[in-house]
Amino acid sequence: MTLQRLLQTTAAAFVLPLSFASQVAASPLWISTFDQGGYVNLRRAPSTAARISDRLTNATPVESQQKRLAEDGYYWYQVDTGKGLGWIRSDFTSPVGPVSPRASQSCAATLEQAEQRLQLLPNAALISSARRAHQYVDGPINRTQVHTFIVTGPGSEDIMTSPVMQTQISAQLIQNCPDLGLVRFSMNETDWREDYGLMHGGMVRAFRCREAGAETSSVASEWGERVCI
């Protein structure tokens, strides 16, 4: 069993009841889906069986009020849309808004800041930072490159389990590096990796996982997917 699967299995053993909710400081979120023209259903309760009160399209800003782990194993956010409250599943949100079409600084300076941020984390080390062409054929036009960070050390788990930090780093790099469409975080000597790419509406989000199988190639054919071993 890989380290990533072990962590996921352990986490699943501690699923809390639907009634468990945690208050969170009101913070901005943005709707982020995999589809062009995609939307998320705003529901009256944290369940796909609950009544739909609105539909929120890609890059719509909302404000989180509380978070709940539901019986389906997903976290849900109660959000304020400006027109009322409702619930959305957390995997269709992003803590970072759409990237600007204009760079705010040079690609080199942004990369240096990202590397420093990763190197300064306790008990973690950045052992590789490199760019190459990704192998997707349907990615964003003219964004043919993937930048990969490989980390090691006991503290590298904190990097790999921090989607907020990964999204922030990825969005900054994609905004300021015009040929970059994908950012990858990998734990050294494991198959654990997390991919973040530019999606519709200027959103940068984590790729979803597709399980490897006998008929699955080592490279996902659809932008927004990665093959998980």
Count of helices and strands (H, E) across the chain: 4, 14
Number of independent structural domains in the chain: 2
Amino acid 71: pLDDT: 85
Choose the weakest-confidence range: 54-63, 174-183, 203-212. Answer: 203-212
The helix (H) or strand (E) run that includes residue 8 is: helix 3-12
Cβ-in-10-Å burial (0-12, 13-18, 19+) of 121 comes to middle
- Whether residue 3 is contained in a domain is answered as no
Calpha distance 193→140 (Å, rounded): 21
Mean pLDDT of the 28-52 span: 94
| Claim to verify: residue 75 and residue 125 sit in the same structural domain | no
Amino acid 72: pLDDT: 84
Strand-pair partners of 22 = 67
Task: Please write the tens of the pLDDT for every residue from 79-112.
Answer: 999 999 999 999 999 999 999 999 999 999 999 9
| Claim to verify: residue 147 and residue 202 sit in the same structural domain | yes
Q: How many residues does the chain have?
A: 229
Strand-pair partners of 206 = 196
Amino acid 213: pLDDT: 61
Q: 170-201 b/e with 16+ CB inside 10 Å = b?
A: bbbbbbbbeebbbbbbbbeeeebbbbbbbbbb
- Whether residue 124 is contained in a domain is answered as yes
| Claim to verify: residue 113 and residue 68 sit in the same structural domain | no
Which is more confidently placed, 147 or 10?
147
Q: Which of 121, 197, 196, 191 is nearest to 159 (CA)?
A: 121
Write down the mean pLDDT value for the chain: 87
Mean pLDDT of the 17-46 span: 79
Answer yes or no: is pLDDT of 67 > 50.
yes
| Claim to verify: residue 117 and residue 210 sit in the same structural domain | yes
Amino acid 146: pLDDT: 98
Which is more confidently placed, 18 or 41?
41
Calpha distance 180→140 (Å, rounded): 9
Percentage of the chain beyond pLDDT 70 is: 85
| Claim to verify: residue 139 and residue 212 sit in the same structural domain | yes
- Whether residue 201 is contained in a domain is answered as yes
Which tokens go with 5? 């699967």
| Claim to verify: residue 86 and residue 128 sit in the same structural domain | no
Of 94, 125, 155, the residue at which a domain comes to its end is 94
| Claim to verify: residue 120 and residue 202 sit in the same structural domain | yes
| Claim to verify: residue 69 and residue 126 sit in the same structural domain | no
| Claim to verify: residue 72 and residue 35 sit in the same structural domain | yes
For the residues of 138-198, what is the DSSP string, one character each? Answer: SSSTT--EEEEEEEESTTHHHHHT-HHHHHHHHHHHHHH-TTEEEEEEEETTSS-EEEEEE
- Whether residue 198 is contained in a domain is answered as yes
Amino acid 36: pLDDT: 87
Mean pLDDT of the 69-76 span: 89
Task: Please write the tens of the pLDDT for every residue from 153-201.
Answer: 999 999 999 999 999 999 999 999 999 999 999 999 999 999 999 998 9
Of 94, 122, 155, the residue at which a domain comes to its end is 94
Calpha distance 42→56 (Å, rounded): 7
Calpha distance 39→88 (Å, rounded): 11
In terms of residue numbers, what domain contains 217?
A: 107-228
Of 47, 72, 94, the residue at which a domain comes to its end is 94
